[in-house]
Amino acid sequence: MPDGTDKPASSPKRSFAAPTGTRDLYPLELARRRWIEDKWRKSAVRHGFEEVDGPTFEHTELYTAKSGDGIVGEIFSTFSGKDEAAVKAMGDALARGEKGAAPYALRPEFTPTLARMFAARGGQFSKPCKWSWQGPCYRAERPQRGRLREFLQWNCDLIGDGSAAADVEVMAVCVGLLESVGLKPADLRLRFNSRRVLGSLVREMGVDAEHESTAFVLLDRRDKLDDDALEAMAFEFGTSDFGFLQFLKRPRGRTGADEALNAMPLDARAKANSLLEPITAVSRELQNAGIAEWCDLDFNVARGLAYYTGTVFELHEASGAMRAVAGGGRYDNLIETFGGPPTPAVGFGMGDVVLSLVLQDKGLMPSDKQIAADLGLRPDVFVISNGQPESDALVGAYLADLRRKGMHARRSYKTTKNVGKLLQDAASCNARYAVIIESATDVTLKDMDANTQDKGPASELLARILPPPR
């Protein structure tokens, strides 16, 4: 365009940073992520969960319907780009000072997708249906320690069984993961509660059904607010019934059933034992499953998501310093809400960000070499020339042959003929064996772990390390 500017034809260089809250994963970092994904998947498989997957983005209404305001406010809105009418409508709404909603949302969590999937086709599966999933989720939050805008989540859900045993089966796969990465009950605590029990208790204390969910919010924040702030919020929410206020302001720190019951009004306490039955059922099953030592009953756990109906739980670092590693619970109404048959379901989600932090803090993240070995990425053999021209010429043929036979085979790209430096190259990629080509027929086979080697005919020595023929 002859616009008279003398800008050079080549546009100026511009550098881009990754968007806020996202991660660029270079080989070592991706290997660490794969290691976690591998542990997740294996834990799910061991416990009999089958992997499913769904779309990265959904209709926005899928989340506005049931997820609760917390998550809805963090949605990344998405347009198709071809739907100019929708883009314009949102622009107009914003211009009028209204809130606009995009037609699509990047998934902030997977549970609504799973409930939608089950509502659509769940009838064809035998019950209970045990599904696991892992993949990226997106939330437009301000990043900080343990929190990003794009993160990985692992979900395990058990659909079609409303029993306490089902609740505990889901908790058990979560604990199974922790055990598989070397964590101990002293490191992490699984705090559980029941919304149904909590609901009947607060009703006994004078809170009506309409205010039940705001009562849960208050209980969830007990540890973070002082009595005055709690009381102020309670009045604001219209949940200032005397009995409930006393319960809300009971001493902090102790979280078990006895402490909670002692803080309740007498007439409520009288009925409490029968009201507590759902929780005692869970406790029994925790014993049966052998994971009780990981778990604490905690009346402060209510969970933010609006769709939880029964048992709820959160997994926290024992010191309580860090945010939740995982959280979940029972959502018996969600599938019906999405047009399916009334179906009980329970599940949890675990994020990779906090889990990685915990593993690092505890020194449980394996070395990069160990991770590569765990993932089957360790080179089987490293091919080296002894520096003679006839050996140099054979490197490519050896590589091709070994690879064709199923070996992970590598070579050096350095120009040096120094065997020591080439072995250093082999060691730095953690190759299991090194093959030094000595002549047209002979090689030295070096066991890099044992630091032993033999020299002889190639056909004979390589036969030792080749995988058995199928």
Chosen residue from 351, 372, 398, 461 binding RNA by CB under 7 A: 351
Cα distance between residue 240 and residue 206, in whole Å: 9
> In sequence order, what are the residues at sequence separation of 6 or more whose Cβ sits closer than 8 angstroms to the Cβ of residue 336?
119, 342, 343
Cα distance between residue 271 and residue 280, in whole Å: 15
**With CB under 7 A as the contact rule, which of the stretches 193-201, 253-261, 402-410, 430-438 interacts with RNA?**
430-438
Contact between 363 and 347 under an 8 Å Cβ cutoff? The reply is: no
Closest to RNA by CB, 173 vs 275, is 173
Q: Counting contacts by CB under 7 A, is residue 71 touching RNA? A: yes
Q: Counting contacts by CB under 7 A, is residue 100 touching RNA? A: no
Binding mask 150-189 for RNA (x = CB under 7 A): -x-x------------------------------------
Q: Counting contacts by CB under 7 A, is residue 17 touching RNA? A: yes
Q: Which of 278, 401, 292 is nearest to 329 (CA)?
A: 278
Chosen residue from 183, 234, 423, 435 binding RNA by CB under 7 A: 423
Q: How many residues bind RNA (CB under 7 A)?
A: 67
Residue 194: strand pairing partners: 311
The answer to whether the peptide bond before residue 128 is cis (omega within 30 degrees of 0) is: yes
Cα distance between residue 383 and residue 461, in whole Å: 13
Residues 434-453 that bind RNA (CB under 7 A): 434, 436, 438, 444, 446-449, 451, 453
Q: Counting contacts by CB under 7 A, is residue 135 touching RNA? A: no
**With CB under 7 A as the contact rule, which of the stretches 96-104, 119-127, 257-265, 350-358 interacts with RNA?**
350-358
Burial of 432 (0-12, 13-18, 19+ CB in 10 A): middle
Binding mask 186-225 for RNA (x = CB under 7 A): ----------------------------------xx--x-
Residues 237-276 that bind RNA (CB under 7 A): none
Cα distance between residue 180 and residue 176, in whole Å: 6
Closest to RNA by CB, 105 vs 325, is 325
Please provide the DSSP assignment of 170-233 as one string.
HHHHHHHHHHHTT--TTTEEEEEEEHHHHHHHHHHTT--GGGHHHHHHHHHTTTTS-HHHHHHH
Cα distance between residue 414 and residue 221, in whole Å: 60
Contact between 113 and 54 under an 8 Å Cβ cutoff? The reply is: yes
Q: Counting contacts by CB under 7 A, is residue 16 touching RNA? A: no
> In sequence order, what are the residues at sequence separation of 6 or more whose Cβ sits closer than 8 angstroms to the Cβ of residue 448?
382, 426, 427, 430, 431, 432, 433, 434
Query: Alpha-carbon dihedral of residues 53, 57, 61, 66, nearest 10 degrees?
Result: 50
Q: Counting contacts by CB under 7 A, is residue 428 touching RNA? A: yes
Smallest separation, CB 233 to RNA (Å): 9
Place of tokens 């070397």: 182
Closest to RNA by CB, 148 vs 197, is 148
Smallest separation, CB 265 to RNA (Å): 27
Binding mask 353-372 for RNA (x = CB under 7 A): xx------------------
Smallest separation, CB 432 to RNA (Å): 9
User: Three-class SS of residue 166?
Assistant: helix
Binding mask 451-470 for RNA (x = CB under 7 A): x-x-----------------
**Positions in the binding site for RNA (CB under 7 A):** 17-21, 68, 70-71, 74, 109, 139, 141-149, 151, 153, 220-221, 224, 303-305, 314-315, 323-327, 349-351, 353-354, 386-388, 413-421, 423-424, 426-428, 434, 436, 438, 444, 446-449, 451, 453
